[in-house]
């Protein structure tokens, strides 16, 4: 069976982390994978998580299987986080949630669902997008198309071009949008732009699929779903893939969720039954620990407040690093775009889409042991006051010589 098997290429992002681990340079810097680091370069366990875990250790009654779609309290917590408890999709019970292993698991289950209920849909992806998106949809055999998203001249949203492309979408096609903190560009639509996107999708009869991996890392937990809520006002059906890897720091616990909004409670329940069949034939049911942490924190007023505070600290540290990065580049006379480096501070979320080209990225790795994704995406959350001078010196070196 395996005689003809050749090596697959390493993953665009995890492959970088492997190369980083093997690099013997003590001053190496990893700005590849989207993992938050604190000022000391560590990825800490949040205090609210530690406290929730201590409670769980003391009180957890059993490790028996969860239901196929996870614990119902987790589903309630996820929906309230996205929509708010009073939102009509919640009160009308038009939304159902399945707990999946990570945001990636949620996207994969969404892809399986789409393939199952509408095998000939097109999935529209932003250009550029997270490199795992096309891999996930390819794995289930869905057709993909792309729409323009980023304007390289202005370092901003290519909004009019995006709207024109979305005007070509067929009825029932799925349009993948990043709920906030677009990866890799860090550029999100404004609330007015979200409304117009919603109008076009409603006109075309298309279904939005929101990848919501960074809730709380743009403006705040309550502010970040504005785009999703604007879409909800305009279309009867949509899907949201949440992840608690970044905002709770629960990367390795694999906590995500697929929430499907349907036109009626009856339709939502039917979809839920199909999701359960697909999950049962895949990983059967989800792992308990990470989701129990999230449910415990969100179900306790004190722990929730603490979480919001810890998340705010992460968000503010990243923003501070953005400003420092831009000013340190300025000081060295490095301009990452024709209009300077101000765009770096405008981008949202963990990443900066730096404009560095593939050759410069390769030189950063080979000559300076600085690891960033080939598209030029830098993980700002991996920058610290202490690695900043070395990083900016290296960028100055590779940009001046090219």
Ligand X SMILES: Cc1ncc(COP(=O)(O)O)c(C=O)c1O
Q: Which residues would be at the binding site for ligand X (CB under 6 A)?
A: 34, 102-104, 130, 178, 183, 211, 213, 243, 245, 256
Contact between 129 and 137 under an 8 Å Cβ cutoff? The reply is no
Q: Which is nearer to ligand X, 245 or 291 (CB)?
A: 245
Rounded to an integer, what distance in angstroms lies between the CA atom of residue 35 and that of residue 188?
20
Neighbours of 127 (CB within 10 A): 15
Give the integer Cα–Cα distance in Å for 53 and 47. Answer: 10
Nearer to ligand X, 166 or 258 (CB): 258
Q: Nearest Cα to 264, choosing from 83, 84, 92?
A: 92
CB of 183 or CB of 352, closer to ligand X: 183
Q: Is 38 one of the catalytic residues?
A: no
Q: Given the complex with ligand X, which of 85 and 252 has the nearer CB atom?
A: 252
* CA–CA separation, 320 and 303 (whole Å): 26
Closest CA relative to residue 25, chosen from 364, 389, 328? 364
Q: Which residues, other chains included, contact 19 with Cβ-Cβ below 8 Å and sequence gap of 6+?
A: 10, 365, 371
CB closer to ligand X out of 87 and 178: 178
Helix (H, G, I), strand (E, B) or coil at 386: coil
User: Is-catalytic flag, 211?
Assistant: yes
Structure tokens at 260: 């499907």
Nearest distance in Å: CB 102, ligand X: 3
Smallest separation (angstroms) from ligand X to the CB of 106: 8
Would you state the structure tokens that stand for residue 226, as one six-digit string? 């504005």
In this complex, which beta carbon is closest to ligand X, that of residue 103 or of residue 355?
103
Q: Which is nearer to ligand X, 142 or 324 (CB)?
A: 142
Of 37, 112, 246, 307, which residue is the catalytic one?
246
Q: Which residues contact 107 (CB under 8 A, 6 or more apart)?
A: 132, 133, 136, 211, 241
Q: How far apart, in Å, are the Cα atoms of 254 and each of 176, 179, 240, 324, 381?
A: 21, 19, 17, 32, 20
Query: Rounded to the nearest whole angstrom, what is the least distance from the CB of residue 104 to ligand X in the complex?
Result: 3
Taking the complex as a whole, the smallest distance from the CB of residue 34 to ligand X amounts, in Å, to: 4
Contacts for 57 with CB less than 8 Å, ≥ 6 apart: none
As a whole number of angstroms, the distance between CA 145 and CA 159 comes to 17
How many secondary structure helices (H) and strands (E) does the chain include? 15, 13
Catalytic residue among 124, 130, 194, 307: 130
CA atoms within 13 A on the CB side of 202: 13
Q: How crowded is residue 367: how many other Cβ atoms within 10 Å of its Cβ?
A: 12
Nearer residue to ligand X within complex by CB, 16 or 329: 16
Length of the chain in terms of residues written: 402
Q: In whole angstroms, how close is the CB of 11 to ligand X at the nearest point?
A: 11
Q: Which of 69, 112, 188, 211 is catalytic?
A: 211
CB of 184 to ligand X, least distance (A): 8
Environment class of 67 (CB within 10 Å of its CB; exposed 0-12, middle 13-18, buried 19+): middle
Min dist. Cβ of residue 82 to ligand X (A): 15
Nearest residue to ligand X, by Cβ distance, number only: 102
The pair phi, psi for residue 28, each rounded to 5°, is -60, 150
3-state DSSP assignment of residue 257: strand
CB of 312 to ligand X, least distance (A): 20
Clarify whether 300 is annotated catalytic. no
Residues carrying an active site annotation? 130, 211, 246
């Amino acid at each position: 069976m395996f005689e003809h098997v050749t090596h697959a290429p390493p993953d665009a992002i995890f492959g970088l982390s492997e190369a980083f681990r093997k690099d013997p340079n003590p001053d190496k810097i990893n700005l590849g994978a989207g993992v938050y680091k604190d000022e000391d370069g560590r990825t800490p366990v949040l205090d609210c998580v530690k406290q929730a875990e201590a409670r769980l250790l003391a009180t957890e009654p059993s490790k028996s299987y969860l239901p196929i779609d996870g614990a119902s309290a987790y589903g309630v917590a996820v929906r309230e986080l996205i929509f708010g408890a009073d939102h009509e999709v919640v009160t009308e019970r038009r939304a159902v949630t399945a707990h999946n292993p990570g945001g990636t698991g949620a996207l994969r289950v969404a892809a399986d669902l789409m393939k199952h209920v509408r095998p000939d849909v097109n999935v529209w992806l932003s250009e550029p997008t997270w490199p795992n998106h096309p891999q996930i949809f390819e794995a289930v055999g869905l057709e993909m198309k792309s729409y323009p998203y980023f304007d390289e001249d202005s370092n901003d949203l290519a909004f009019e071009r995006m709207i024109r492309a979305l005007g070509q979408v067929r009825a029932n096609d799925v349009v993948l949008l990043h709920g906030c903190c677009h990866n890799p560009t860090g550029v999100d639509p404004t609330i007015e732009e979200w409304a117009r996107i919603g109008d076009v999708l409603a006109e075309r009869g298309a279904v939005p699929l929101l990848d919501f991996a960074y809730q709380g890392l743009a403006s705040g937990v309550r502010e970040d779903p504005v785009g999703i809520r604007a879409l909800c006002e305009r279309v009867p059906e949509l899907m949201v893939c949440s992840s608690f890897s970044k905002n709770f720091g629960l990367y390795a616990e694999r906590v995500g969720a697929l929430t499907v909004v349907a036109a009626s409670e009856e339709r939502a329940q039917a979809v839920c039954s199909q999701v359960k069949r697909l999950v049962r034939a895949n990983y059967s049911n989800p792992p308990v620990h990470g989701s129990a942490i999230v449910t415990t924190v969100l179900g306790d007023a004190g722990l929730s407040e603490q979480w919001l505070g810890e998340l705010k600290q992460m968000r503010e540290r990243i923003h501070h690093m953005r400003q420092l990065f831009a000013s340190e580049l300025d000081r060295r006379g490095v301009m990452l775009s024709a209009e300077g480096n101000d765009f770096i501070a405008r981008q949202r979320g963990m990443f900066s889409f730096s404009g560095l080209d593939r050759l410069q990225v390769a030189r950063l790795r080979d000559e300076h042991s600085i690891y960033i994704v080939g598209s030029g995406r830098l993980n700002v959350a991996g920058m610290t006051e202490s690695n900043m001078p070395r990083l900016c010196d290296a960028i100055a070196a590779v940009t001046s010589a090219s």
